[in-house]
Structure 1
Amino acid sequence: MLSVALDLTIEAIILLSYFMILLDNSIVFTSTVKIATDLHLNSQTLAWVSSAYTLTFGGFQLFGGRVGDVYGRKRVFLIGLLLFSLGSLMVGVATNALMIISMRAFQGIGSAILAPTTLALLLDNYHGTMRARAIAAYGTTAGIGASFGMVLGGVITSVFSWRYGFFLNVPVGLLMFVLTLRFVEDSGHRRTNHLDLIGTFLSVLGLSALVYSIDGTIYQLLALIIAIIALGLFVYAEHVVKNPIMPLRLFTDRQRNSAYIARFFFIGAAFAYFFVTTQALQHIYGFTPLLTGLAFLPATIPQFLSALQVSNLSTKLGNARLIVIAVLFVTIGVFLTVVIGLNRGYWLAIAIPMVIFGIGQGLVLSPLTAEGVANTDPEIAGAASGVVNTVHQFGQSVGISAVVALTSGVHNGVTSYIMQLLIISAISVLSLVAAFVLQSRKHRQQG
């Protein structure tokens, strides 16, 4: 009985820490207007409130995953909690553009350390059916954290202040720090005390430059060239160094590769949907930030309920088949708004499709996470977790940027939103294709 209670405590610590990161990432969507007003930010500066976080979060993901393999995941997890909590506090008290942008970047580093380490700790502490259940809970947290952040962000911004969305992380982060010291055991999987410094530098440079080439405002082509060169050198370095930050054998498993691709396009579609729908609700229907947040409940509630069924459905159907079904739900949910038409009003045009979208999102992330870390040995669990979270973060950046860029010349709100939904549907179809490939490979392996 004590063992079960301890397992549940460890799982709660890890998942709540991960939930904080995801919540924070989504809260910004419904808080941007208030942040801009309070700190007198223009649109270009406001974009950097999100981009600075994305830049460091995406750039340091591989480092965050591998450093736990080398120096111990509990120690690295504690450092990540402190950095994230401190960054959140400083964002909350920010008084000008420079302060909020620099502290968002700092907060992103803490997130980049925390996100992959949370998954690696789950892999360390659970095995067999318990591991499958823990990974399912992790994937569920990824989806619910993103959706619930939209709701909570609207409520906090309207009733209190956008600052409280960041202040909330501080006591929670410190509580998780104390509980981690008390209950979480470190793994004994370290095989080296040497971090791949060349790979670390090249990965941070390459990934950060790649994020900037997507989300930046000037010198994007130069950033892309730097990213291509740095990442090319990074892959070569990982091939020749003794203890790579990203062991290339992670990509020898074709099933994992299919799961990475499916996750990339799914996250791109999902976050782009959140982003453009937030804007549409306010500009087309005239919703306040509070109503905008509450308007996502038709997605959040079904997502939570469907996520509770993931373990049973995965057992009956298998992860690959469940991913196909879930992504199909998401694709239909997005496209249905186009078919119904925005003139039918929020409840018919947005809320009903959101229910279908939410069911799909609740079902998909757990099996995608399980397939993304499948067949990995303990010594590279952190690196594998880093890849999963890197794919997650870049899918988000690419999805939002692609949709916004492709519709930037359309100035009619209704027309723009319809076009955005069509593009998001196409991105979701790409995820569906990757899911079919994953299912095919699993079927051939089992046959």
Structure 2
Amino acid sequence: MTTQRKAYRASILHSIADPKDVGIEDSYEYFEDGILVVENGHVVDIGDAVEVLERQPKTLQVKEYKDKIITSGFIDTHIHYPQTGMIASYGEQLLDWLENYTFPEERRFKNPIYAHKVANLFFDELASNGTTTALVFGTVHKESVDVFFEEAEKRNVRMIAGKVLMDRNAPDYLVDTPESGYEESKELIEKWHNKGRLLYAVTPRFAPTSTPEQLATVGKLLEEYPDVYMHTHLSENKKEIEWVLDLFPERDSYLDVYDHYGLLHKRSVFAHGIHLSDCECKRLADTDSAISFCPTSNLFLGSGLFKLPKLEEHGIRVGMGTDVGAGTSFSILQTMSEAYKIMQLQQEKLHPIKSLFLATLGGARSLHLEDKIGNLEVGKEADFVVLNMDATQLMRFRMQQAKKLEEKLFVLMSLGDDRTVSETYIAGEKAYDVNFEQQKKLVS
């Protein structure tokens, strides 16, 4: 974490409110020629360049970027680090995809050496795509989560993760027991939760792979550690929902299974939530639970179309997730593009400023971390990304036709990907530099 005061000059754009609450125009700040000032890993000043320079010391070091825009680091509210190696696996829907691709790959994470190799690649991919915070699935192996947190701690990234709990309806080599899952989760919580920028999430895979006894231990962990997260899947696929109701015939709905065991609270984040009833939406809102919108995954697995307006009408917190490896890209920019298409298929609009909110401040609110991350307000942690508006020949040409900020942002999210990310900063320290990576490739 840098202690020296440094400044970065470029166009600056960040979300300050949800557009649905205040309207588009009042939901963001934009400085065409702006300066962001960072010290001790936090934002200490932001604004128009002329005004910031007047109130800062004359000796201030200023790094200038041409044709680039700075925004707050992207927040991925649902992703699987052990699925990095089987991203883009062909031709299945959810349940078959788990059986044929996911479980065999996750078996390999019993080996800490393999887990470490994948964790390094995973964090490199996050940084090169401008993602600075993520809510992450591990595997059933305690070792895989230790390795993940060890690497996250080295990089000083804000990560939330947990050991998967799974004691039935999975291969023998991937199941734990209610007792072992509870004890190992406790050990990991005690070791990693609130250590630096790290946080823990109790992580049952989804209702079909946990017995009632194991779900009861999840509720017990949440009672014992009320500030940890709860991270699982919900109503992603219609066959999945039917399976849940067959396994828990005494429950009224998929969500009611989790609710019965005390798994709904202010730090509960449910991935997908595509096929939710009004009653389920109301209960999610009443418990301040959040949903992660995972558009690339939903399209790739043919799961369905996420109903963002419906969830927002109920007041549910929503963030954006890549859901790698069912999601086909680590890029939040590409995820924003797919989200737009999902809305289009429902005759709904998704404004680019709203997309930026979902990918940054909306994600922070979903994780109840908006006091620390999500935008570039003074006092926030200095996680930010420098985006190149001219990253490709096509983008450069298209940007020349763009007149308004919202049009430029739409081009950025429609045509952008990891090539658009010039630099990524974690707590004020550079974590990724595209020029350095390109030079490294040339040398190798």
TM-score (normalised: structure 1): 0.27
Question: Structure 2-normalised TM-score?
Answer: 0.27
Answer 1 or 2: which has greater strand percent: 2
* Structure with greater proportional helix content: 1
